[in-house]
Amino acid sequence: MSNILVTGSKGQLGTELSAINSQFPHFKLFLTDKDALDITNFNAVENFIIKNKIKAIINCAAYTNVDKAEEEVEVANKINFEAVKNLAEITKKHALKLIHISTDYVFDGISEIPYKETATTNPQNQYGKSKALGEKALIAVNPKNTIIIRTSWLYAVSGHNFVKTILKLSKEQSEIKVVNDQIGSPTNAKDLAVVLLTVLPKIEHKNVEIYQYSNQGSCSWFQFAQEIVQQTNSNCTVLPTTSKEFNSKAYRPNFSLLNTEKIKNTFQIKIPTWQESLKECLKQLT
């Protein structure tokens, strides 16, 4: 049995990893959050690794409040950059495996085709910038058997997310406005959690490798909301609006669709469509 440290265990992805652990009995997950383990503290993490004979780390910990990151730049960088550098150095020192979760927001959103792993990063908001710095730190340290997995538009049964917000609003209001000029792909955190534990034993890389995972297909947030309303037979009307009208603090990329061919081909995995995965999540929520 391998001992795996999961950081950010109370977030959407960490919660899903905990939920599916029984399907992967050869892994013992050590589920930690910021109260149990401060990943910005090198010594604390190293001591935890040694004490619990950890063989791999899955880093789900992140500062993810996109709008708040515009003001809390230092805090976002501490978690999304400095802590990642710590994990990279510890991984290298103790010959561990590491999976680090990153985001589609490292891209600028001006592409017209899905972004490949090799595409130039050019984040347009502070959250994206902090995540890009984390990726660069990891690549610079370059521990063996380490991969970065970028994902997009994550949602789950747990936590605060778009799906749960739309479900709530569609019960309270007769119509809701949702932006129609941002294109990407929703990702069910449960699907990603299964992928993480499936690929972990197969990671054999000399250098840090980047992969991307999101559910198949693409949509705007407006179309995503429409599908939620439709699948739950709600009478609420979803109306399209623009990002400009929505007027959020942080800029969001207009197009952040990820090319997922590399992870499919390398690890021989099948990825369900976003509509299928949404259906599975809604079954548990409604």
Q: What is the pLDDT tens value at each position of the chain, 286 positions in all?
A: 799 999 999 999 999 999 999 999 999 999 999 999 999 999 999 999 999 999 999 999 999 999 999 999 999 999 999 999 999 999 999 999 999 999 999 999 999 999 999 999 999 999 999 999 999 999 999 999 999 999 999 999 999 999 999 999 999 999 999 999 999 999 999 999 999 999 999 999 999 999 999 999 999 999 999 999 999 999 999 999 999 998 789 999 999 999 999 999 999 999 999 999 999 999 999 8
Residues whose CB falls within 8 Å of the CB of residue 44, separated by 6 or more in sequence, listed in order: 37, 38
Residues whose CB falls within 8 Å of the CB of residue 43, separated by 6 or more in sequence, listed in order: none
Strand 27-31 relative to strand 2-7, pairing: parallel
* Cα 45 to Cα 54, 57, 83, distances in angstroms: 11, 11, 10
The answer as to whether 286 is a domain residue is no
Catalytic-labelled residue, pool 127, 155, 211, 213: 127
The answer as to whether 95 is a domain residue is yes
The reported pLDDT for the residue numbered 46 is 98
Q: Please, what sign has the CA dihedral across residues 95, 96, 97, 103?
A: negative
Count of domains for the chain: 1
Contact 168, 117 (CB under 8 A): no
The reported pLDDT for the residue numbered 247 is 79
In the chain, % helix, strand, coil (3-state, to 5) comes to 45, 20, 35
The answer as to whether 222 is a domain residue is no
The parent domain of residue 204 ranges over 2-160+187-216+256-272
The answer as to whether 247 is a domain residue is no
Six-digit token pair at 178? 């949702």
The reported pLDDT for the residue numbered 246 is 82
Could you give the count of Cα atoms lying within 13 Å of 169 in the half-sphere of its Cβ? Answer: 17
The answer as to whether 278 is a domain residue is no
The reported pLDDT for the residue numbered 169 is 97
The answer as to whether 176 is a domain residue is no
Tell whether pTM > 0.95.
Answer: yes
CATH code, domain with 18: 3.40.50.720
Catalytic residue check, 127:
yes
Contact 111, 255 (CB under 8 A): yes
Residues whose CB falls within 8 Å of the CB of residue 174, separated by 6 or more in sequence, listed in order: 235, 236, 237
The answer as to whether 241 is a domain residue is no
The reported pLDDT for the residue numbered 186 is 98
The answer as to whether 225 is a domain residue is no
Task: Please tell me whether residue 246 adopts helix, strand or coil conformation.
Answer: helix
Strand 237-241 relative to strand 154-155, pairing: unpaired
**What is the C-alpha separation between 226 and 178, in angstroms, rounded?**
9
C-alpha closest to that of 150 among 208, 101, 206:
101
Beta strands in 123-224 (DSSP E): 146-151, 154-155, 175-179, 183-184, 187-188, 209-213, 219-220
**What is the C-alpha separation between 106 and 141, in angstroms, rounded?**
19
